Amino acid sequence: MEVKKVAQEILREVGGESNIQNLTHCVTRLRFNLKSMDGVDESKIKNITGVVDVVNKGGQFQVIIGSEVARVYGELIKLCNFNDNKEDSSDGPKKGLVNKILDTIAGIFSPIMPIIAGAGMIKALLSILTLVNAIDTSGNLYYFLKFIADASYYFLPIILAVSAAKKFQCNQQMAMLMGAILLHPNFSALKDTAGTVFVLGLPVRIVTYSSSVIPIILIVFVLSYVEKFVEKITPPVIKFIARPLLTILIMAPIALVVLGPLGSIIGDGLVSVLLSIEKIAPWILPTVIGAFMPFLVMTGMHYSLLPAYVNSLSVLGHETIIGPGNLPSNIAQGAAALCVAIKTKNKDFRQLSISSGITALLGITEPALFGVNLRLKKPLIATTIGGGLGGLYAGITGVQRYGGGGAGLAAIGLYVGEDSSNVINALISAAIAFAVTFAIQWYIGFEDVKSKTGGGTIPEIKAAEKQGLLTSEEQYTIYSPLKGELVPISEVSDPAFSSEAMGKTIAIKPSEGKIYSPVNGKLMTIFETKHAIGLVAENGAELLIHVGIDTVELKGKYFKTHVTEGDTLKTGDLLLEFDYEEIEKNGYDPITLMIITNSFQYSEIIGENVEKVHAGDKILTLR
């Protein structure tokens, strides 16, 4: 993968640096907070070589890359001048309450997950070495590795303070100080002398804040408002000294008297609820997670589980919230993709299915989920049943995960504990998920993917006939949407179009700035920038008419629409007008493209052998 080129193309398609509020990444995906979605063409981003898929959920625009995500992220950072407080929510699109909550949780916890995962894998390694008697538990090597792994949990308040400060847009160093105050050994030493002490008449509850999650998030949230208040009231002459002094003197008592104890109570309550669920019905969470984790990932809802997940690990030393169900879910994703690999007749798709299936078994599911299973849809049925049954077994047998990190065979060491039956049951749950998913997928089958080099497989053609799109004898004519000169697709400067990755494409150099409907059908979409229109023909053909290259940057200038979304169209209806001469004067190529975005549903698409066309001339035949 040419990571620099991928980064450049992604940056261009998301609207450039000026449209990015914030950028982070997780194990497989780039996570953008964009100021505006105007002009962001998801289909173009999906067709960038190296991009698996795009998800716009939970207040984030997510570009799924796979294992190379860190390198692409690094190139993006080089291309952009990001600073510590890049986010500016005031300029961004309005979000609903749920999206705001998910976006906040994601912004705080995503950056710390590599630390949790790394520490978890060290603990897994120690567990395996201890199990096979390959390490002396009384020796220095074990001692050092153990406290190195424990450090990420012990200092969670300081680690979380950084990402929370970035999310709430306040001073990171001041936030870290708040975390350090909670962990100072002199404060912790008071635990042995009293449950509550009084300072200037204020009660300070002595709480152990090491490994805590919720207190520091509450503190940094309030800190973001205190800083703004202090900024307003501080005279400019003494601002440099007075601002940090007042901030500390205000925040320290609020943190120690109110927010810290409140967060501790909430955290303790959360742990108590989780323990109650484990005691009453331990199978519920693993079953639900096993069955529906792919859908939670697609919508971004899995972030809602992170506070409880991290809190459980830090307080209890194990978790049953995500891991026991996520393991069989990921294995089910891999099983479905590998079953597809065996049954597909498409060589390219087989290779994708094999690689993504193996990757899913190891714990990274996005390539299998978005590249294979979601694309074919039926495999999701198999993974839901297989993952759910595997999760049910894990819940009934009380499987626990002892560290943060992956949920696949590569991280099976996270399930190794003092009782060897835990890892055995985890492996059995994975085996159940694999066997059930594979068997169901084999039985229900799927509609195969058309080969890029052929005219479509027999199952695809029969499927199209069954849907009523066409018969083997039937054909459908599409007419030219404008007057101009046909240009070979290879001469189009934009690779997303010239590669015909989105479907069969016709390119016309306009000699008149009017776009007419090329079919009878319905208008589905008009982009806000008016440079592109999507419509569906009466026979089901899906068409995208795109005027110019990068003309989204004109933001509607030189364009005028004559229809609205939902309109019924007749061939020859005027859709829009554009000033192609002014577009060209402004440095943009006005070449106009018509793409059949569901080309795979047709066995053959034949173009007319002509050089020049008028609006209404026959230009394509679908069979």
Residue 367, pLDDT score: 74
- Compute CA distances 173 → 104, 163, 169, whole Å: 20, 11, 12
Under a CB-based contact definition with an 8 Å cutoff, are residues 230 and 282 in contact?
no
Domain 476-622 grouped into CATH 1.10.8.50? no
Residue position matching structure tokens 């074919």:
376
Burial of 369 (C-beta count, 10 Å sphere; 0-12/13-18/19+) = buried
Name the CATH architecture for the domain at 3-94: 2-Layer Sandwich (3.30)
Radius of gyration of the chain (CA): 29
Using a CB cutoff of 8 Å and minimum separation of 24, what contacts does 276-284 make?
Answer: 278/320, 278/398, 282/320, 282/395, 282/396, 282/398, 283/391, 283/392, 283/395, 283/396, 284/395
- Residues of each domain in the chain carrying CATH 2.70.70.10: 476-622
pTM listed for this prediction: 0.54
pLDDT at residue 30 in the model = 84
Mean pLDDT of 230-254: 88
Work out the pLDDT band at 90, boundaries 50, 70, 90. Answer: very low
Residue 539 or 335, more confident: 335
Q: How far apart are CA 442 and CA 499, in angstroms?
A: 33
Report CA torsion sign: 107, 113, 115, 119.
positive
Q: Which of 585, 621, 620, 612 lies closest to 512 in space, CA to CA?
A: 612
The answer to whether the beta carbons of residues 130 and 137 sit under 8 Å apart is yes
Residues with a known catalytic role = 26, 546
For residue 509, what pLDDT is reported? 92
Higher pLDDT, 127 or 603: 127
Give 16's contacts (C-beta < 8 A, 6+ positions apart): none
Lowest-pLDDT choice from 100-104, 182-186, 562-566: 100-104
Q: Quote the tokens at residue 569.
A: 């169209």
Strand 592-596 relative to strand 532-537, pairing = unpaired
* Comma-separated ranges of CATH 3.30.1360.60 domains in the chain: 3-94
Structural contact between residues 605 and 621, judged by C-beta atoms closer than 8 angstroms: yes
Helix %, strand %, coil % for the chain, to 5? 55, 15, 30
